[in-house]
């Protein structure tokens, strides 16, 4: 943390709760690179410096953005109240414009998602393991939860009906996803690209590990950490090579898909229903009683947050 002793004092005064203290430390660590770049504490940032830095560290969703911005504002107010000579109130007048940042994180629809996947991964016709990661993205965009995706069987992908039928629910298959899903459904082998320093990349055809599952590697069943790390590496490489400026993750693809389907329904006069989305998610997690009064209040707040994010998503595209 920049100005570590000052921020540690603030953290101790703000809360004795370890979880809260850790959240504060995470927020301060996020802004530290900009404090180092500008050579000053956050509390001394002027309007230009706030505009350049805060959109990059304050989260994508409205609720996380508001929480992070509120945290920074409370810290600056504390600095002013304690009469630190470098403190100023520029952050009180800060108005966020996150649109450019959000355009790099949200997807407008299936065609947009396919365009981004083409930048991140090899072509479907290369018949490599990249098809598995493509399929994973398509199923998150369709509304499936990541832990469910890893359990989808090949025979639950119905290309004739253009649906994935899993655990009593149906999820849409979009036209742009057909090739990747068909490859994962029907192929028992995929090429693996082996890269060694000083040598040409080598394509090796390998048998897939589990013949019944859609999302399946060639050595073992991939875990969520392995998949997200591989996707993160692919995304970073695509940006470094100038192929895309998108910073896409499966979670952002899921959220974009949620908003895309809500928009399609709204075009036919059906109002968005994000409360049922929250109820479904809470029920899926199974750790809260959806009939509890406090839980219902929490779910309503989450639904309102989704609605706010949805309005921002519509404004972006």
Q: Which of 200, 219, 249 is a domain's end point?
A: 249
Asked if residue 102 is part of any domain, the answer here is no
Domain limits at 164? 110-249
Q: What is the pLDDT of residues 33-90, one digit of tens each?
A: 999 999 999 999 999 999 889 888 876 676 677 778 888 999 999 999 999 999 999 9
Q: If you average pLDDT over residues 103-111, what whole number do you get?
A: 90
Quickly state the pLDDT bin for 138 (edges 50, 70, 90).
very high
Mean pLDDT, the chain, as a whole number?
90
Asked if residue 313 lies in contact with residue 305, where contact means CB atoms within 8 angstroms, the answer is no
- Residue 215: is its pLDDT beyond 80? yes
- How many distinct structural domains can be found in the chain? 3
Q: In this structure, what token pair is assigned to residue 271?
A: 């109002």
Task: Report pTM.
Answer: 0.76
| 157, 216: one domain | yes
* Residues 280, 243 share a domain: no
Can you tell me whether residue 190 is helix, strand or coil?
strand
Are 176 and 235 members of one domain?
A: yes
pLDDT more than 70, % of the chain: 96
Q: What is the pLDDT of residue 97?
A: 62
pLDDT tens column, 247-295 = 899 999 999 999 999 999 998 999 999 999 999 988 888 777 888 889 9
Q: How many CA within 13 A on the CB side of residue 127? A: 12
- Other Cβ atoms within 10 Å of 133 Cβ, number: 24
Same domain, 114 and 177: yes
Range 125-129 average pLDDT: 95
């Amino acid at each position: 943390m920049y100005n570590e002793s000052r921020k540690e004092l603030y953290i101790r005064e703000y809360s004795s709760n370890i979880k809260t203290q850790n959240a504060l430390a995470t927020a301060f660590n996020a802004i530290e690179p900009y404090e180092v770049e500008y050579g000053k504490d956050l509390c001394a940032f002027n309007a230009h410096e706030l505009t350049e830095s805060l959109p990059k560290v304050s989260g994508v969703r409205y609720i996380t953005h508001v929480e992070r911005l509120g945290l920074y504002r409370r810290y600056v107010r504390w600095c002013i109240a304690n009469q630190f000579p470098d403190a100023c109130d520029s952050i009180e007048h800060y108005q966020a414009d996150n649109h450019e940042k959000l355009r790099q994180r949200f997807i407008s629809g299936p065609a947009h998602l396919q365009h981004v996947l083409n930048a991140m991964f090899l072509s479907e016709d290369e018949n490599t393991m990249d098809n598995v990661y493509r399929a994973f993205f398509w199923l998150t965009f369709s509304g499936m939860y990541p832990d469910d995706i890893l359990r989808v069987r090949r025979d639950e992908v119905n290309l004739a009906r253009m649906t994935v039928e899993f655990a009593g629910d149906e999820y849409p298959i979009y036209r742009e996803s057909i090739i990747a899903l068909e490859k994962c459904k029907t192929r028992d082998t995929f090429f693996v690209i082996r890269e060694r320093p000083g040598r040409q990349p080598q394509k090796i055809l390998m048998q897939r590990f589990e013949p019944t599952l859609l999302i399946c590697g060639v050595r073992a069943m991939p875990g969520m950490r392995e998949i997200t790390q591989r996707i993160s590496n692919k995304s970073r490489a695509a940006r470094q090579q100038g192929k895309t400026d998108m910073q896409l993750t499966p979670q952002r693809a899921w959220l974009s898909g949620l908003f895309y389907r809500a928009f399609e329904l709204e075009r036919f006069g059906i109002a968005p229903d994000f409360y049922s989305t929250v109820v479904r998610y809470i029920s899926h997690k199974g750790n809260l009683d959806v009939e509890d009064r406090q839980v219902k209040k929490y779910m309503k707040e989450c639904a309102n947050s989704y609605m706010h994010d949805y309005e921002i998503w519509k404004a972006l595209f």
